[in-house]
Amino acid sequence: MCVILLARQGLDRAEKILSIASCLFTFAGFALSWLTWRRTAPALPEAPATTSSGPASVAVTGSSSGSIDAEASDVDTPQGTPAAPASGVHATGAGSVAVGGDNDGQIRTRVTGWRGKKP
């Protein structure tokens, strides 16, 4: 139907109509793509809370491809467990380690012989 309408207008006038129509469709396409991009922009994920508490404890939120060696001997353990934080990476306790993501390296911690003494 558009072809028949444009054929009756003549070549010069049909070319002008198509130029205007293509500009309008191009602008509409850019507007829709921009709106789609704005709505689908990914929000940065919040890192989960990572807590390691106690002597020589290790917590890794992501994956760990390295070796983990944790040792504690003859250490006083504090009474009670600290409350888990809402977010962030926290390590409490002698020789404890907390990693808030992926780990590719070796984790090594050792605590020995301070029972009854302040470190």
Tens of pLDDT along 32-78? 998 887 776 566 666 677 777 777 778 877 777 888 887 877 766 65
Region 19-36 average pLDDT:
92
Q: Please name the residues in contact with 65: beta carbons below 8 A apart, sequence gap of 6 or more.
A: 102, 103, 104
Measured distance between the N- and C-terminal CA atoms of the chain, rounded to whole angstroms: 89
Residue 58 corresponds to which amino acid? V
Please give the pLDDT value at position 42.
Answer: 67
Q: Yes or no: say if 76 and 36 are a contact pair by the CB < 8 Å rule.
A: no
Q: Which pair of structure tokens corresponds to residue 21?
A: 């129509």
How does pLDDT run across 68-110, given as a tens digit for each residue? 887 877 766 655 555 555 567 777 777 778 887 788 888 888 8
